Structure 1
Amino acid sequence: MARILLVDDDASLLEVLALAFQEAGHATLSARDGTAALALLRKERPEAVVCDVNMPGLDGFSLCRRLREQGDAVPLILLTSRDSEIDETLGLDLGADDYMAKPFSMRVLLARVAALLRRDALRTKAEAEPAPPAPIESGPLKLSPDRLEVLFHGRHVAVTVTEFRLLEALVRRPDLVLSRARLLSIVRGDDTVVVDRIVDTYVRRLRRKLEQVDPAFDRIETVIGAGYRFRAFRG
């Protein structure tokens, strides 16, 4: 499932933790202090860290601070035998994701690590997904490419996919004359051979639908012998 780095100067506790995480299906890495943990983090890139606070040399607080200062957002849970509000606040302020006081329930620790792994997976997925395209606006006309939605004066205009692509092509290029062949190429995205006059049919439908919202709509202009252009709204 995931690789978990376990950091504690107590060898017996490390062994217990490793066994519990391995039984839960995880691979484990172990370090006895913060310095060794840093080296493993750079080399192995584990998916989560469970770290004791009280260790010689680089302690858990210092390790957490070092990681966050370096921009490393690996999920990290701090363990401590000092059950105090001050410790908890400090750990969380330094960037720890969770905090557990010893003695703790192994089942609860496993559940908290699982929750952090799920959260991190969702965050990674969200960051990897491209942001939805921004709406295209011209005066009272608004197009949402991700939803294939047209709003005109705040009212929804029902259009087909082809009609949307045609309108989008025109609105994205205000005041430019686009030939029927060029419009078909943009709308269809291929070299399909069709009668380019079909664009006239799409334009008529678009005009009719937009005129149902505003009878004065006249922004899609016919340029005789050349094609069509969208006259942008001003002001």
Structure 2
Amino acid sequence: MTWKVLIADDDPNVREIIRLYFRQQLIELIEAPDGVAALTILAEVKPDIVILDVMMPGLDGYETCREITKRYDDVPVIMLTAKNDEFDRVLGLELGADDYMTKPFSPRELVARIKAIFRRMQKGQRVIEVDAPVQYEFDDLVIHVARREVLAGSVKIDMRPKEFELLAFFAKSPGDVFTREQLLEQVWGYDFLGDMRTVDVHIKKLRERLSPCHHVCIHTVWGVGYKFEVAACS
């Protein structure tokens, strides 16, 4: 299988280095010099994954990521940034990025991150299809597992793949407390190369998605982790 990867980076040298290495790995690379061009390409050709440089002229990586995750909720995004500040990393994750890398980086590591994302997506699909029941129902929340669909009453809640997999995992064991390490292991997998803050960011996004549901909560258990509960939530 040949993967199709779109990279948006205004530095032609970075794109050339990645292009040469991807060619050896039989990965098809589609190049865009900025965020606007990336969105135009996405409307015509849907890649398997998108790599975004943060510091681009015009439409920067953050705004491009926001638009991609809004329009294409099943396309994974990796952010490339010269910044090593925690705020910048968390911001990218909050906008829907699946992973990030700090420049300068190794093309070999970039390929490893891409492969890890695909493995996690495949793992999530297998777990949901094989192990889970047809659906979970918690008062006004219904999780259709096979259709990967979440309803608050009769209203559909849009979720990105990892948000859905995290919710489906919680739904298997309502009331149980899970540490961040356990959630990373069970939902992201052993090969996850990012930092543990990604769990907190996804929990925050999941809480926002579930806000229309008044009888389910994801509680923080201080000093331990998180638990999914069915109760009247304030």
TM-score bracket for the superposition, by shorter chain length: 0.5 to 0.7
Structure-2 residue corresponding to 1:22: 23
Structure-2 residue corresponding to 1:150: none
Separation of aligned partners in 1, 2:28 and 2:72: 24
Structure-2 residue corresponding to 1:12: 13
Tell me which moved more, 114-123 or 96-105: 114-123
Structure-1 residue corresponding to 2:84: 83
Paired residues of 1:6 and 1:18 also in contact (CA < 8 A): no
Cα offsets for 1:35-88 (capped at 9, x unmatched): 110111121100011110000111110011111222423111100111111100
Q: Secondary structure at the match of 1:90?
A: helix
Cα offsets for 1:84-143 (capped at 9, x unmatched): 111001001111011111111221111001111222234456677897568xxxxxxxxx
Q: Secondary structure at the match of 1:83?
A: coil
Q: Secondary structure at the match of 1:115?
A: helix
Structure-1 residue corresponding to 2:53: 52
Q: Secondary structure at the match of 1:121?
A: helix
Q: CA deviation at 1:7?
A: 1.0
Separation of aligned partners in 1, 2:48 and 2:96: 16
Structure-2 residue corresponding to 1:103: 104
Q: CA deviation at 1:6?
A: 1.1
Q: How does 1:145-224 map to 2 (within 5 A)?
A: none
Structure-2 residue corresponding to 1:70: 71
Aligned-partner residue type, residue 49 of structure 2: A
Q: Secondary structure at the match of 2:115?
A: helix
Structure-2 residue corresponding to 1:152: none
TM-score normalised over the length of structure 1: 0.52
Q: Secondary structure at the match of 1:103?
A: coil
Structure-2 residue corresponding to 1:40: 41
Q: Percent identity?
A: 43
**CA 1:88–1:31 in structure 2 vs 1: closer, same or farther (change >3 Å)?**
same
Aligned-partner residue type, residue 2 of structure 1: W
Paired residues of 1:75 and 1:120 also in contact (CA < 8 A): no
Q: Secondary structure at the match of 1:54?
A: coil
**When the two structures are aligned, how many residues end up with a matched partner?**
134
Separation of aligned partners in 1, 2:49 and 2:76: 5
Paired residues of 1:68 and 1:94 also in contact (CA < 8 A): yes
Tell me which moved more, 78-87 or 112-121: 112-121
Separation of aligned partners in 2, 1:128 and 1:66: 29
Paired residues of 1:67 and 1:73 also in contact (CA < 8 A): no
Q: CA deviation at 1:18?
A: 1.2
Larger relative contact order (Cα-Cα within 8 Å, sequence gap ≥ 6): 2
Separation of aligned partners in 1, 2:72 and 2:42: 13
Aligned-partner residue type, residue 37 of structure 2: A
Separation of aligned partners in 1, 2:15 and 2:27: 14
**Which consecutive residues of structure 1, in runs of 5 or more, have no partner in the other structure?**
135-235
Q: Secondary structure at the match of 1:95?
A: coil
Separation of aligned partners in 2, 1:52 and 1:72: 19
Separation of aligned partners in 2, 1:102 and 1:133: 43
**CA 1:31–1:133 in structure 2 vs 1: closer, same or farther (change >3 Å)?**
closer
Q: Which runs of 4+ in 1 moved over 3 A?
A: 121-134
